Amino acid sequence: MNLHLSDIRQLQSELDEQIMANHKVTRSETKTKRILALLVEIGELANETRCFKFWSFKKASEKEVLLEELGDCVHFTISLGIDLHDDSTEMAFIARDASLSEQFIDWMDETSKLKTEFNLKRYKIVLSYIGSIALAMGFDAQDVYDFYEKKNEINHHRQQNNY
């Protein structure tokens, strides 16, 4: 099961260009903010899964909410990959032998390292967590692609309406 990245990268590049033109910023000026934004989105996704909330009986959010949050993570991850000229065409979904909570911590740790180790090797590790987290939540590559595409349209609309 693979996520096809070429179409996503093109859509993300177009959105990034629109955002950066609207806000008169550059990729290099926003790199650190996009890393932080990805960390925040990972945290929001973890919160919606409730995987760490041992004190609560409440279930995870609905599928659509989880996929929307994961789609936000995809947006910021791919945006950072564009900076690094990543030309990967596909990303395999590979399960990790770790709990969802452990995976979120590891994903955040690897993402934090991008601040000082902004390179393709580190980026591809960060990217790989999209697949393993999706699998752990019961989603496949098509689910991720579909919700990325849906959220991308929303983000374009937001930029056109001074979000």
Domain that holds residue 131: 2-160
Q: What pLDDT sits at residue 67?
A: 96
What integer is the mean pLDDT of 107-130? 98
- DSSP SS3 for 59: coil
pLDDT higher than 90, residue 162: no
Q: For 14-35, how does the pLDDT look when each residue is reduced to its tens digit (9 = 90+)?
A: 999 999 999 999 999 999 999 9
Where b means 16+ CB within 10 Å and e means fewer, 94-131 reads eebeeebeebbebbbebbeebeeeeeeebbebbbbbbb
Note whether 29 and 92 are within 8 A (CB).
Answer: no
Q: What pLDDT sits at residue 158?
A: 87
CATH value at residue 67: 1.10.4010.10
Terminal Cα distance for the chain, rounded:
35
pLDDT interval class at 139 (50, 70, 90): very high
Give the number of residues written for the chain.
163
pLDDT interval class at 1 (50, 70, 90): confident
pLDDT interval class at 152 (50, 70, 90): confident
Q: For 48-90, how does the pLDDT look when each residue is reduced to its tens digit (9 = 90+)?
A: 999 999 999 999 999 999 999 999 999 999 999 999 999 999 9
Nearest Cα residue to 106 out of 37, 31, 39, 35: 39
Region of 87 please: left (phi>0), alpha (psi -120 to 50) or beta: alpha
Calculate the average pLDDT of the chain: 95
Give how many domains the chain has, as a whole number.
1
Q: For 100-117, how does the pLDDT look when each residue is reduced to its tens digit (9 = 90+)?
A: 999 999 999 999 999 999
